[in-house]
A = this chain, B = another copy of it.
């Protein structure tokens, strides 16, 4: 939230599209719509008390985020995942973060290390007293930092897109896949590897970390799939 010189909050009359997109996102993450369900524009427009135009644009936005899919003349549907797609998402995530951490090894500044350690503290705090959603969010934030520190903003953008899908998947499963405090702890080796300045060690730590996460999520997802 930016402020003006006088300290007023900037008035950003967030247009309808973004508001609707946020509401839809929330509803989707809460599981209000079944996977694969059809979203009727007119119905949503009535629900939100607006016309179909902004609903349509919001839906396209969620489509670009991979949470909805559209079929010509049939409309929008809640995105469904299969295990293979989930594997791909985590594999791509590994691809991105490995590239980031690799370019990072050897030029990690003190500031960066402080930021990462601070994020680790935050993760441990929400592991104790936060909600599941917060825990996921802080976990994502840690990995996002790695991407940001790579200096490649285009890479960060792809990471963000991936995150939408990961969030969606994880909340689709309906429960966290591990003890949040232990999850936080498993980020420690990554920082340590970065400190050694050894690219190989960094890659190994990340490989392991993401590999474990992928395995757990996919496993839980496969269990869910049996219904």
Task: List chain A positions with a Cβ less than 8 A from chain B.
Answer: 15, 53, 56-57, 60, 64, 72, 85, 88-89, 91-92, 94-96, 98-99, 152-155, 158, 162
Contact = CB atoms under 8 A, between A and B. Distances in A.
Nearest to A152: B88
Contacts of A56: 57
Contacts of A155: 88, 91-92, 95
What 8 A-B pairs come out closest when comparing CB atoms?
A95-B99, A88-B154, A88-B152, A64-B64, A92-B154, A92-B155, A91-B152, A158-B158
Contacts of A158: 92, 158
A107 to B, nearest CB: 15
Determine how many copies of this chain the complex contains. 2
Nearest to A64: B64
A94 B110 CA distance: 28
Nearest to A95: B99
A88 B15 contact: no
A94 B15 CA distance: 37
Contacts of A72: 15
A17 to B, nearest CB: 9
Contact of A57 (B60, B88, B95, B98): B60
A57 B154 CA distance: 24
A178 to B, nearest CB: 23
Contact of A85 (B85, B89, B154, B162): B154
Contacts of A64: 64
Given A60-B60, A91-B155, 16 more contacts: A15-B72, A53-B53, A56-B57, A57-B60, A64-B64, A85-B153, A88-B154, A91-B99, A91-B152, A91-B154, A92-B152, A92-B154, A92-B155, A92-B158, A154-B162, A158-B158
